Amino acid sequence: MLNKLLFCQCYNGMSTKNVVFNNPKEFLSVLNKTYPFAKKWIKPQIFESEIPWPQEYFQTNGIGGANITGHFIKNNLKTPTTVIEGRCTKDKLLYELKKEKYSHVGFSVITNDFTNFIECTKLVRTHYPEITIIAGGYGSVYPIIENYVDYVCKGRGVPFLREILNEDINEQYNIGSIPYQIVAKVGNNKVIRDVLIITNKIGCPNDCNFCQTNKLFHNEFSKNIITPQEMFDFIIDYKKKNGNKTFTIQFAEPTAIIYKKWWYELFELFENIKGDFPLYLPTTSSSLKNLDFERITNSSLRFDTILIGIESFTKKYKKNTNVDLPKLIDKLNFYGIATLGTFVIGVPNQTKEDIRLEVSKFARLNLSWYELHNLKLSPLTSDIFIDKDDQVDKIPIDFHHLHGFQAFKHDYLKTGFEDLWPLTYELNKFCEKEFLPYTVNLYQVTKNLLKIKNSKLVKRNMKIYQIVSKKIFPIWKNYFNPSKNQIAKYIEKIDF
């Protein structure tokens, strides 16, 4: 039979903001439903003692689940490929396998859904033994995975699949893209934001010791797949095909800004184009340090939100070397660019008080929003962990990469949820008081943007952020019990 690929992703995408660290009972329910085999690690009393964040508070969630990896693969193969959107389940998989005849099934495996992946492979083996099974992604680095598949890809998926499917491995690459939606909710009021997710590079140049990406791709990363002109044409064509609606362009790659010349050229192409083309992308502080923001202010393409990995103040990462972080973040705010900062907690030798002090320093940065991530266990990053104990070897692989779960031996944090989850819950509440709600900071950033781009759309967004911030103020005040200084800061920021 002719080759035909079915591509899936096994990923349990629980939101840290809306489930794990603000709705303990729902998180407990998700854990019990998703990981029934791990009851000994899921102790209800840990989660039942905390009061959930108010349901009327500001929340954001993705609608469905964008399988950008699958679409990147599909766009770079001649072999007919079907992509299962969102998290792959046995029901979804069986439904697709009954519809069409496939020669191969590919799985992108994220560690926190490892058991679901095994169950899906067993289903394929049982009902369709003639199908070739391939696995890649972060979960592929566990040796046990070889017991369930025919091929394991540890690195770039496209050339690996091209070779298996008898295609030219040197064929020119295409970008990956997929439409997506994000819903922002306050009480019963919802606002849906359209997003176009794009992948234009592979790998990451930054060898951060806590992260798997650089190691998974063997320290390789690609140049931009297409030229600025080709990217411009692609975005404009997409806008025309979708009724000229405004949408956010999200780059799904760890370090979007590496080659500044490429970005300057792209911004210049949008200088005479009407409309608003907001960008959301992750990059590093070092890549932004010498970026000429003044040069790109006349473009209808603009940086809307930039994700910056702050990560630590005690460990010096290359991506933050010689960067004055407070000064950089203030500069981004000045140009009307929102910032999302990530921070890693629970590294070896950190006491709980050390963690609190680090996060307190993190919260003094003038970021728009924040994400706290506990250090996760992986064979690719094992060099930073102290020796494992026998107990750790009994932990399900799924829990090696789970929010709030201590998966490696630590001198000051017990293995499991017992210490780390309550601490992270506490720190998220602390950050919500210190940083203030996201909409408050977006209002401030948008006020700055209005000085550069005086448009009806910017004014409308600014008004929405102010209305929402005023609406949630009593909820924030009553639940988080902020200090007088924090309350005064809130009131001043939203122009009460």
Query: Using CA of residue 36, residue 374, residue 200, residue 455, what is the dihedral sign?
Result: positive
Please say which residue of 285, 301, 335 terminates a domain: 335
One domain, residues 244 and 121: no
208 shares its domain with 325: yes
Whether residues 207 and 290 share a domain: the answer is yes
**Is 311 within the bounds of a domain?**
yes
* Residues in Cβ contact with 369 at an 8 Å cutoff, skipping those fewer than 6 apart: 338, 339, 340, 341, 435, 438, 441
Same domain (yes/no): 230, 85:
no
> Which is nearest to 397 in space by CA: 65, 118, 32, 33?
118
Judgement on whether residues 55 and 73 belong to the same structural domain of the protein: no
The verdict on residue 128 lying in a domain is yes
Q: What is d(CA 320, CA 110) in angstroms, rounded to the nearest whole number?
A: 27
> Within this chain, do residues 43 and 76 fall inside the same structural domain, yes or no?
no
Cα separation, 69 vs 196, whole angstroms: 14
3-state secondary structure of 194: strand
Q: Give the chain's end-to-end CA distance (angstroms, integer).
A: 68
Give the list of residues 6+ apart from residue 186 with CB closer than 8 angstroms, or none: 56, 57, 58, 59, 468, 471, 472
Max Cα distance, the chain (Å) = 71
CB atoms closer than 10 angstroms to residue 129: 7
Q: Are residues 222 and 325 in the same domain?
A: yes
With contact defined as beta carbons under 8 Å apart, do 12 and 34 qualify?
yes
In a domain, 391, yes or no: no
Tell whether 317 and 279 lie within a shared domain.
yes
Looking at residue 409, what is its pLDDT? 86
State the pLDDT at residue 16: 58
Which residue range is the domain that position 46 belongs to?
16-59
Distance CA 447, CA 464 (A): 12
pLDDT for the residue 449: 96
Q: Is residue 92 part of a domain?
A: yes
Say if 176 falls within a structural domain: no
Please tell me whether residues 55 and 81 are part of one structural domain: no
The CA distance from 263 to 232, in Å, is 11
Q: How many domains, the chain?
A: 3
3-state secondary structure of 175: coil
DSSP β-bridge partners for residue 83: 7
Residues of the chain short of pLDDT 50, as ranges, are: none
Provide the pLDDT for residue 184: 85
What are phi and psi for residue 431, nearest 5 degrees?
A: -65, -35
Residue 298 lies in a domain: yes
pLDDT at position 392 is 64
Sign of CA dihedral 11, 12, 17, 21: negative
CATH of the domain at 71: 3.40.50.280
Q: Are residues 10 and 26 in the same domain?
A: no
Residue 226 DSSP code: S
Q: Where a domain ends, among 335, 366, 382? A: 335
- Domain end point (choices 116, 141, 164): 164
Q: Are residues 222 and 302 in the same domain?
A: yes
* Contact by Cβ (8 Å): 114, 397: yes
Residue 237 counted as domain residue: yes
What is the pLDDT at residue 384? Answer: 59
List alpha helices for 44-166, DSSP H: 44-48, 68-75, 90-99, 114-127, 157-164
Considering the domain architecture, whether residues 49 and 71 belong to the same structural domain is answered as: no
Whether residue 214 is contained in a domain is answered as yes
425-483 pLDDT, tens digit each: 999 999 999 999 999 999 999 999 999 988 888 999 999 999 999 999 999 999 999 99
Q: Is the pTM of this model over 0.75?
A: yes
Q: Between β-strands 176-186 and 189-199, what pairing exists: parallel, antiparallel or unpaired?
A: antiparallel
Q: Which helix (H) or strand (E) holds 305?
A: strand 301-311
Sheet holding 301-311, edge to edge: 59-63, 176-186, 189-199, 248-251, 277-283, 301-311, 338-345, 369-374
Contact 293, 267 (CB under 8 A): no
Under DSSP, is residue 458 helix (H, G, I), strand (E, B) or coil? Answer: helix
Task: Look up residue 395 and give its DSSP letter.
Answer: S
